[in-house]
């Protein structure tokens, strides 16, 4: 699925709007039904990219949460851009927040840029908060 192009006219003017396809986020798989996973997600919602007033969960920076039988947690995440000034800080912040969740074993956080982050990964609440809806 590629980018779609829509023509729009409104009070702000007229022009073309490029839309990237929405990608499923971990929450859209129903995985948060697990109580431990739900607590981890709540912990992730306390972490913010300091340049954007939206938590990293709603920004769509979390690509995957894996929990094994020993309750060890592996998080695959990204940042908004490879040159992001908090690319070193944010994974440590995520690790610390998840370590505070009761019943969690070891925590590892992996940073990836594949696939690159795009605004289509943001939740509707984040888009609304940033004035994108």
Task: Calculate the CA 26 to chain-centre distance.
Answer: 9
In this structure, what CATH number is given to the domain that contains residue 35? 3.30.300.130
Residue 19 lies in a domain: no
- Using left for φ > 0, alpha for ψ between -120 and 50, and beta otherwise, residue 13 falls in left
Please report, for the chain, how many H helices and E strands are present, in that order. 4, 5
| Statement: residue 57 has pLDDT above 80 | yes
The domain of 30 spans: 24-129
C-alpha torsion angle, residues 103, 34, 80, 85 (rounded to 10): -10
Residue 121 lies in a domain: yes
Q: Where are the beta strands (DSSP E) in the chain?
A: 4-10, 13-19, 62-67, 73-77, 107-111
Residue 94 lies in a domain: yes
- Count Cβ atoms below 10 Å from residue 101 Cβ, excluding itself: 19
User: What is the pLDDT at residue 7?
Assistant: 52
| Statement: residue 51 has pLDDT above 50 | yes
Residue 30 lies in a domain: yes
User: What is the pLDDT at residue 43?
Assistant: 98
pLDDT in tens, 7-30: 556 555 555 554 544 444 454 444
pTM over 0.85: no
Provide the number of structural domains found in the chain: 1
The band of 3, judged by pLDDT with boundaries at 50, 70 and 90, is: very low
Residue with tokens 């969690």: 104
Cα–Cα dist 39/103, whole Å: 10
Residue 10 lies in a domain: no
Residue 103 lies in a domain: yes
pLDDT in tens, 61-111: 999 999 999 999 999 999 998 888 888 899 999 999 999 999 999 999 999
User: What is the pLDDT at residue 67?
Assistant: 97
């Amino acid at each position: 699925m590629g980018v779609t192009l829509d023509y729009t006219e409104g009070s702000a003017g007229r022009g073309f709007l490029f839309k990237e396809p929405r990608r499923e986020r971990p929450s859209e798989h129903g995985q948060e039904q697990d109580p431990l996973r739900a607590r981890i997600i709540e912990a992730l919602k306390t972490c913010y990219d300091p340049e954007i007033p939206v938590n990293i969960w709603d920004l769509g920076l979390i690509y995957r949460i894996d929990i094994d039988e020993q309750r060890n947690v592996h998080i695959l995440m990204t940042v908004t851009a490879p040159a992001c000034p908090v690319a070193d800080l944010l994974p440590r912040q995520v690790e610390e927040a998840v370590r505070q969740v009761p019943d969690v074993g070891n925590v590892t956080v992996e940073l990836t840029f594949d696939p690159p982050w795009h605004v289509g990964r943001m939740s509707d609440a984040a888009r609304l908060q940033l004035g994108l809806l």
